Structure 1
Amino acid sequence: MTILETNLKFLRQSYPHVYRLLNESPSTSANYRSFVSKDGLGNIEVCFNERKTEFLYDPSQTAMEAARWLQSITEHVSQQEHILIYGLGLGHHLQLLLTYYPQKWVYVYEPDLEMFRKAIETEDLSLLLSHQNVKALAVGKSAEAKRQLIYPICTHAQGSCSFLCLPYYERVASSDLRDFRQEIPSIVSEFNVNQNTLVQFKEQWLRNRLNHISTNLSSIPLHALKGLFQNIPVIIVGSGPSLKEDVEWIRRLRDHCLIFAAGTSVQPLLHFGIEPHLVVMVDGGSIVELVFQDEASRNVPMLYSPTTNFRVTDLMTSQLFHFYDHTDQVSKHYMELTDEDPVFYSSASVTGMAIQAAVYMGCKEIIFAGQDFSFPGNNYYAPGVTHFAEQGQKYVVSNAQDEVENVLGTTNRTTSSYRVLLRNTEEIISRLPGVRFINTSSVGAKIAGTEWKRMEMYYEEINGGLITAPKCISDVLKVNARYSTERVASILTKIKSIQVDLGVYQQKFHEIKKLIGKLAEWSRTNPNKCAKTLESIEDHWAAVVNRESFRALYESLLPQELHYFDSHLSSIVAEKTIIGKARMFETYVGKIVNEMLEVTPLLKEIAVEAISRLKQHESEDAEVKG
């Protein structure tokens, strides 16, 4: 096996996001040349242009350069348990860091994808990067790569982390380095918002995802529509105030474009007499039930993710399609998701999910209507939105403190939540360079990655062409592409075993709790027995947390509690005295075990409901077949 093959095998197993990035990005590393420095260590020469080349390390004394760097950071890292290192290169600096600071947890960021590509061709980095103290590896400059780095720091570090940088990047990329450091607070803020959202909706989402398993088995996975709408544009409609100016043009375009209602925008569309081809839903809240109280809304075909309020999909009389998001551990385990399933990058915005669905279905031209991400004219929604009372709308608008640039070059009032949704949508757009995006809002927020064009101008562009959209989305279905009998049987077996699994977990938690109760005494009177008990607790804990069903159930319901535990994990590992470690196990492991025991009855109750729905599905399916 070559060096490259060894590294790729390791990345595929340990850092699949980096492995995917390498496969999906064409190589442009011709300007990177590996060679051996005079002292025998590997090095890389980078040619920026005909006049400028740089060496990753000092070619005459690479080892000495790394040693001087290590000496220079001593004071900087001594007070922190967690270290972010900007730049991996060939790993020489990281190797020294791990050797001389064996208790520090390190988070590695290589911003230059081509540098990393050349590195894994040159050096076997698998052993170095598999070190137990390397807690994250991120490569590239995308927002997602930065999340892969910063989110683990937010999870494990208690508010502080040393920042180190390879001398090479300080020399050649000082502006990128400065920009990166300035981005960190916004990524941390995003992490906190996501954590708060997880806490707020944790029970709803878990219940929705489990209850939707029966719905998933009776509806159609979006895979059935994959690639069937090549060259057909799609209008993704939001509920913003500008929508009222475009409804007549949307009505005329329905014969030429697909129309997707992003969430509750189905209300204003139906208010103006326009039936969308699909309504895309991800909202798990109870308020969305108010959107689908009338027959017309329930007759619109729906594309839902399992986070959607399951009572809403139960109400629908139309064709149902479904997809998944990459954070959904429940569906990943119980629906046995594979690369063939429609799994999209999770976005805070339903518009972001609708975009990915449209591209998955083959659309290469996406038009935004009513996607204002702000309050133009101090208005919240377009006419026809009734699920949120007018008084509530006025309150939100009057208290909006933020501003965002609009398409006219001035500003609109907005909220921090809308800014997050806008940023998420722009990120999804940036991931799709081969797709044309058009923002038709006359007064809404400027959306990066789109061209601005009024809807009437777009109508003039497309009218008279040969593009014809189907009247109904299901008209193009060629096969009834539901899940195979074998897969359904396996899914049913897994779901029906939830209660057994929960019983096993409950027993394990009681065993761990019993062992923890003995630590205080034994740490003082019998250190050897205490040490063996600590090892036994670790074995019991590993047997629990490494199971997929644990991640699907307990991690979904205890995100805040597990985050607190993870943030103290490095302190537990670093503690060397028996008495100190025993005390930490009592404090932190004991706490999370008690919390898991407390939520187990709720998990059992949710499981009973999901199993009951599945039995009803089986009964109805048997009647149809009979």
Structure 2
Amino acid sequence: MKLTDNIVLLKAKYPYLISRIVLNGSNDTVQVIETKSGHPTLAINHSAHIDYLHSKYNPVHEAEKFIDQYVNSEHNHVLFYGVGLGYHIECFVKHFPSVPFSIYEPDVEVFQAFITHQNLKSWKMLRYIYVESNAQQCRGDVQDFVTQTNGQVTIISLPSYERAYGKAYKFFSESMQHCLQEARKLFQIRHAFEKKWIINSLDNFKYTIQAGNIFDKKMVFEGKPVIIVAAGPSLNEEIENLRYIKESKSAYIFAVGSAISSLLHNGIIPDGACTYDPHFHNVNVIKKVIEEKIESIPLIYGSTVGAGTLKDYPGPMLSFFTDKDPVADILLRRPDGTAFEKLEDAPSIAVVALQLFYRLGCNPIIMVGQNLGFRNNSYYASGIQYGERGSQLLQGDIDAAFQVEDVFGNLIQTDWSFNTIRLDMEFHLKNYTDRMIINTTQGGAKIQGTQFMNLKDVIGQHLQQQDITDGNWYVSKEPTYDRDYMRKQFEFLDEKYIDFLQQVDEVVRLLSEMNRSVKQKNSKKAFKLSHKFDTAFEIFQRNEYYKTVLKPMNMLQLEWLIKQFDAIVHEPDMLVKTTKIIEKIGKVVYDIRQDLSMIEPLYLNARQAVQNA
């Protein structure tokens, strides 16, 4: 009966597992053996020896002792590596009935025995099931699990599995460690930026509504060659070729990031500079332009670029929007009613620029100085000082380095940051097969989706036509944005802002009352208040000001909160449940209220800019 119920459940909730499990197949290596206690154990028959996954005498007692070490800890989500017959999982569920968990089993035959012994329907908090069939699938399953849980997980592996499946366990552990490290790095990036994106969007709004939008210049660039100049060490070798291209006007030249400093250092004025980094110190990238008051270089900036980047810029500016700017999304459109194009956020301005010039219709798109690795003991091209670091490698760079293939088929040193940029660039390039994308970077990392050519050969084969660029390409005569629509949308947002001030106060008031009911140990009152809270919190979450401004600033916390809902909803004790609501949801609400106060001056300044427009 258990087997039948489990097959029905697996087909309904985990259909992908059915193809991996041969339910009627032979079970040559796994044997179910009775023990003196009456609870069976599992014997794994290897060619030279037998491994027992549970005690040969009392598997239940063994499981209880094993789980004791986890009883006094808090768990967000547990992954059990190795299920055996599930004794340790049963024991854990008794101690933690409201903690979500998942299982990973490296042996299909063990899993077959497992589903004849346990009734999975009784495990209400079981979330994901993985059954390994090969090493490649193991890596994919681990990545999927880390993505689903945001890496906030306790891994419990049976010691017997570490012995019986040593090679598989080692590969699983290494895969898990790698995926968790990647998840932590991505978490750190998002944590550093998610508030900055909104802060910068509002702070830059007064500039954005006065600047043009780069996508209104599509007719200028369509079919024209463009060179994206990055700040890699190989840029040093291409200065004279770039100088020739600039003087002959045979392609548009755009500097990305710090490359502007190197070009200016060598007397080359590009057709534009691209920037988008949300950090406040991003202004240092264009410091040379500001200090020398160069007015002839258009700045193409992401609307969420670091606050302060635009304040003193002496030249013309044009903006673009990314998917990290919901403020522009709700407030701005063209006079003809159409929406502006949005680019995907990326780990580097080079990737954003690649998207930009592809969407503008440029052809060919030529990369220069895109090393994405180290060269001649250098990190950047000469003439670049980014923050406190110059162009030379530091010991920390060398310590963290690993090897990738370069454009010549050799191996070069790179780091996590450069490699992440390369992988993201390759992700986009898969969709750009209708365009010629040329990588001219001498000794740079090989970028799938590009063809490598020497820049001199590119000039001879693809840039023979001269005088095709327009030095005044950025000049606008028509208004970029629909001003009436912008004012109307801001009035709407303003109404929701005023509503939200009251809604957040109501949610905080209810949290305070719920806390009082817990202290009074009044379950009945706590029950009534929790229902009122659910209604108030739902209204809170539907508010458009919250969804546009505050929710994007707290996405990591909100994603974490969603992972906690299982533990809250399935908590049987009303007072414990109310306490969890106060501690987990309350923390997020208080942080959102703090952001509401912090962002208010920027929001009011943006409102004033709209009124003055």
TM-score w.r.t. length of structure 2: 0.70
C-alpha contact 2:540 2:546 (8 A) present in aligned 1: yes
Across the two proteins, how many residue pairs are aligned to each other? Answer: 499
Aligned to 1:416: 416
Instruction: Determine which of 584, 588, 591 is the counterpart of 2:587.
Output: 591
Q: Residue 587 of structure 1: CA displacement? A: 2.5
Larger Rg: 1 or 2? Answer: 2
Aligned to 2:40: none
Whether 1:214 and 2:210 are equivalent positions in the alignment is no
1:42-62 residue CA offsets vs partner (Å, 9 max, x unmatched):
x9xxxxxxxxxxx9989xxx9
Residues in 2 aligned to 1:554 and 1:426: alpha-carbon distance in whole angstroms: 33
SS of 1:208 mapped into structure 2: helix
Q: Residue 260 of structure 1: CA displacement? A: 1.7
Aligned to 2:100: 81
Aligned to 2:252: 258
Structure ranking higher in helix proportion: 1
Residues in 2 aligned to 1:617 and 1:483: alpha-carbon distance in whole angstroms: 11
Instruction: Determine which of 573, 577, 585 is the counterpart of 1:577.
Output: 573
Aligned to 1:355: 354
Look up the equivalent residue of 2:511 and give its one-letter code: K
Aligned to 2:266: 272
Aligned to 2:34: none
SS of 2:403 mapped into structure 1: strand
Residues in 2 aligned to 1:151 and 1:354: alpha-carbon distance in whole angstroms: 30
- Structure 1: which 5+ residue stretches go unaligned? 1-42, 44-54, 66-71, 86-96, 109-140, 163-178, 622-626
Q: CA separation of 1:603/1:497 partners in 2, compared to 1, >3 Å: closer, same or farther?
A: farther
Aligned to 2:340: 341
Aligned to 1:428: 428
- Structure 2: which 5+ residue stretches go unaligned? 1-10, 25-81, 94-98, 105-118, 131-136, 158-170
Look up the equivalent residue of 2:221 and give its one-letter code: F
Aligned to 2:455: 455
Whether 1:464 and 2:460 are equivalent positions in the alignment is no
Instruction: Determine which of 296, 300, 305 is the counterpart of 1:303.
Output: 300
Residues in 2 aligned to 1:430 and 1:211: alpha-carbon distance in whole angstroms: 35
Aligned to 2:38: none
| Structure 2 counterparts to residues 227-626 of structure 1, below 5 A | 228-254=220-246, 255-290=249-284, 291-292=286-287, 293-295=290-292, 297=294, 299-335=296-332, 340-389=339-388, 393-395=392-394, 397-465=397-465, 468-474=468-474, 480-494=478-492, 496=494, 500-501=498-499, 503-521=501-519, 524-527=521-524, 529-604=525-600, 608-612=601-605, 614-616=607-609, 618-619=611-612, 621=613
Q: Residue 236 of structure 1: CA displacement? A: 0.8
C-alpha contact 2:370 2:444 (8 A) present in aligned 1: yes
C-alpha contact 2:496 2:544 (8 A) present in aligned 1: no
Aligned to 2:116: none
Aligned to 2:32: none
Q: Residue 426 of structure 1: CA displacement? A: 1.8
1:400-432 residue CA offsets vs partner (Å, 9 max, x unmatched):
433333223333333222222222222222232
Instruction: Determine which of 153, 158, 164 is the counterpart of 2:153.
Output: 158
Which segment is superposed worse, 344-353 or 548-557? Answer: 548-557
Residues in 1 aligned to 2:604 and 2:422: alpha-carbon distance in whole angstroms: 38
Residues in 1 aligned to 2:485 and 2:182: alpha-carbon distance in whole angstroms: 37
Residues in 1 aligned to 2:306 and 2:196: alpha-carbon distance in whole angstroms: 8
1:277-299 residue CA offsets vs partner (Å, 9 max, x unmatched):
22111112233323233345553
Q: CA separation of 1:407/1:157 partners in 2, compared to 1, >3 Å: closer, same or farther?
A: same
Residues in 2 aligned to 1:245 and 1:203: alpha-carbon distance in whole angstroms: 39
Residues in 2 aligned to 1:391 and 1:465: alpha-carbon distance in whole angstroms: 37
Residues in 2 aligned to 1:204 and 1:471: alpha-carbon distance in whole angstroms: 34
1:568-598 residue CA offsets vs partner (Å, 9 max, x unmatched):
2221122233233223223212332333344
Q: Residue 263 of structure 1: CA displacement? A: 1.8
C-alpha contact 1:214 1:614 (8 A) present in aligned 2: no
SS of 2:255 mapped into structure 1: strand
Which segment is superposed worse, 535-544 or 428-437? Answer: 428-437
Look up the equivalent residue of 1:285 and give its one-letter code: H
Q: Residue 376 of structure 1: CA displacement? A: 0.4
1:15-47 residue CA offsets vs partner (Å, 9 max, x unmatched):
xxxxxxxxxxxxxxxxxxxxxxxxxxxx9xxxx
C-alpha contact 2:262 2:381 (8 A) present in aligned 1: yes
SS of 2:352 mapped into structure 1: helix
C-alpha contact 1:300 1:318 (8 A) present in aligned 2: yes
Residues in 1 aligned to 2:151 and 2:178: alpha-carbon distance in whole angstroms: 18
Q: Residue 241 of structure 1: CA displacement? A: 0.9
Which segment is superposed worse, 501-510 or 425-434? Answer: 501-510
C-alpha contact 1:232 1:256 (8 A) present in aligned 2: no
Residues in 1 aligned to 2:295 and 2:142: alpha-carbon distance in whole angstroms: 38
SS of 2:258 mapped into structure 1: helix
Q: CA separation of 1:498/1:220 partners in 2, compared to 1, >3 Å: closer, same or farther?
A: farther
SS of 1:517 mapped into structure 2: helix
Q: Residue 208 of structure 1: CA displacement? A: 0.8
C-alpha contact 2:378 2:391 (8 A) present in aligned 1: no
Q: Residue 538 of structure 1: CA displacement? A: 1.4
Residues in 2 aligned to 1:601 and 1:573: alpha-carbon distance in whole angstroms: 31
Aligned to 2:42: none
Q: Residue 105 of structure 1: CA displacement? A: 4.5
Residues in 1 aligned to 2:210 and 2:562: alpha-carbon distance in whole angstroms: 39
Look up the equivalent residue of 1:464 and give its one-letter code: Q
Residues in 1 aligned to 2:197 and 2:453: alpha-carbon distance in whole angstroms: 38
Residues in 1 aligned to 2:129 and 2:338: alpha-carbon distance in whole angstroms: 28
1:426-484 residue CA offsets vs partner (Å, 9 max, x unmatched):
22222322222211111222212211111111111124347823334326x6x625111
SS of 1:199 mapped into structure 2: helix
Q: Residue 378 of structure 1: CA displacement? A: 1.0
Residues in 2 aligned to 1:576 and 1:513: alpha-carbon distance in whole angstroms: 20
C-alpha contact 1:213 1:614 (8 A) present in aligned 2: no
SS of 1:299 mapped into structure 2: coil
C-alpha contact 1:437 1:450 (8 A) present in aligned 2: yes
State, as a whole percentage, how many aligned pairs show the same letter: 18
SS of 1:473 mapped into structure 2: coil
C-alpha contact 1:204 1:284 (8 A) present in aligned 2: yes
Residues in 2 aligned to 1:229 and 1:304: alpha-carbon distance in whole angstroms: 17
Instruction: Determine which of 225, 233, 240 is the counterpart of 2:217.
Output: 225
Residues in 2 aligned to 1:309 and 1:422: alpha-carbon distance in whole angstroms: 23
C-alpha contact 1:217 1:483 (8 A) present in aligned 2: yes
Look up the equivalent residue of 2:192 and give its one-letter code: Q
TM-score w.r.t. length of structure 1: 0.68
Aligned to 1:126: none
